[in-house]
């Protein structure tokens, strides 16, 4: 493990070494963590990045994710939560970060946070994007509302199964689907899934 004393040193480390995981503080000395992240992704850095910040506004979180962060932890946080986030990121297959995710007519680029349908860009809310990315990384697998909450809403203790249902509807609308006949399926008494066999 290496620790940088500031943003400039962090950039030097990222240029010189390969890492399994990068943890960045937004408010680093000299160069902000966000600028370090932008520089890292611009050089095709593939390691998952966890952003730490005191900024709790949704717009700030969205900005960090749009710049290429894989997860976002708001200060103050418990060390156990930090370790849990690190373990979750390290469990992700590294190859997934480097490729486009596709399902039917939908393409999602994890690096740029861009979603397109038949080549036309779609504009999704940050949490709707996270939900779609989760499904696209786990195609043809059924997840209960509780399992989705644990993976997509891990930082929101106020989220509920109703939250999932609402965002499923928003997701379907955002990707141009009017009901359950598209990519996102309701599986009775079990939960939801992204089906790759839809017509």
Query: What are 41-58's pLDDT values in tens digits?
Result: 887 788 889 988 876 666
Q: Of the residues 74, 94, 114, which one is the last residue of a structural domain? A: 94
Residues 79, 106 within the same domain: no
What is the model's pLDDT at position 61?
Answer: 67
CATH number of the domain enclosing 140 = 1.10.10.10
Position 79 in a domain: yes
Residues 75, 103 within the same domain: no
Between CA 173 and CA 13 the distance in angstroms is 43
Between CA 56 and CA 68 the distance in angstroms is 18
What is the model's pLDDT at position 164?
Answer: 94
Q: Where do we find the tokens 């290496």?
A: 2
Residues 111, 168 within the same domain: yes
Residues 105, 189 within the same domain: yes
Position 61 in a domain: yes
Tell me: pLDDT of 68 over 90. no
Position 111 in a domain: yes
Q: Of the residues 42, 66, 94, which one is the last residue of a structural domain? A: 94
Tell me: pLDDT of 94 over 50. yes
Q: What is the mean pLDDT of the chain?
A: 84
Q: Of the residues 94, 110, 128, which one is the last residue of a structural domain? A: 94
Angle at CA of residue 110, ends 21 and 187, nearest 5°: 105
ω into 76 cis (within 30 of 0): yes
What stretches of 6-126 adopt beta strand conformation (E)? 22-25, 49-53, 71-74, 101-103, 106-109, 114-117, 120-122
Residues 72, 128 within the same domain: no
CATH number of the domain enclosing 12 = 3.40.50.2300
Between CA 144 and CA 179 the distance in angstroms is 19
| Continuous segment of H or E residues that includes residue 8 | helix 7-16
Residues 106, 188 within the same domain: yes
Spatial neighbors of 160 by CB under 8 A, at least 6 apart, are 149
Q: Where do we find the tokens 């390290």?
A: 90
Q: Domain limits at 145? A: 99-194
CA distances from 20 to 82, 90, 191 (A): 16, 7, 33
Q: How confident is the model at residue 185 (pLDDT cuts 50, 70, 90)?
A: very high
Residues 90, 113 within the same domain: no
**pTM summary value:** 0.54
Position 142 in a domain: yes
| Continuous segment of H or E residues that includes residue 184 | strand 184-187
Identify the bridge partners of residue 72 per DSSP, sorted by sequence position. Answer: 51
Backbone phi, psi, residue 129, to 5° = -60, -45
Residues 40, 72 within the same domain: yes
Between CA 120 and CA 198 the distance in angstroms is 20
Position 42 in a domain: yes
What is the model's pLDDT at position 115?
Answer: 92
């Amino acid at each position: 493990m290496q620790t940088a004393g500031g943003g400039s040193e962090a950039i030097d480390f990222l240029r010189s070494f390969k890492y399994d995981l990068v943890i960045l503080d937004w408010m680093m000395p000299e160069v902000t963590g966000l600028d370090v992240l932008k520089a890292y992704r611009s050089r095709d850095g593939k390691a998952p990045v966890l952003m730490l910040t005191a900024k709790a506004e949704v717009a700030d979180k969205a900005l960090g994710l749009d710049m290429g962060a894989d997860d976002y932890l708001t200060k103050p946080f418990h060390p156990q939560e930090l370790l849990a986030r690190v373990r979750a990121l390290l469990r992700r297959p590294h190859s997934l970060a480097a490729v486009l995710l596709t399902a039917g007519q939908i393409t999602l680029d994890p690096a740029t946070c861009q979603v397109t349908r038949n080549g036309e860009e779609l504009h999704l809310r940050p949490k709707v994007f996270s939900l779609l990315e989760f499904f696209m990384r786990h195609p043809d697998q059924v997840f209960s509302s509780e399992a989705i909450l644990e993976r997509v809403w891990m930082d929101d203790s106020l989220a509920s199964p109703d939250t999932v249902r609402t965002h499923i509807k928003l997701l379907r609308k955002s990707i141009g689907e009017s009901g359950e006949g598209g990519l996102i399926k309701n599986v009775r008494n079990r939960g939801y899934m992204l089906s790759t066999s839809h017509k």
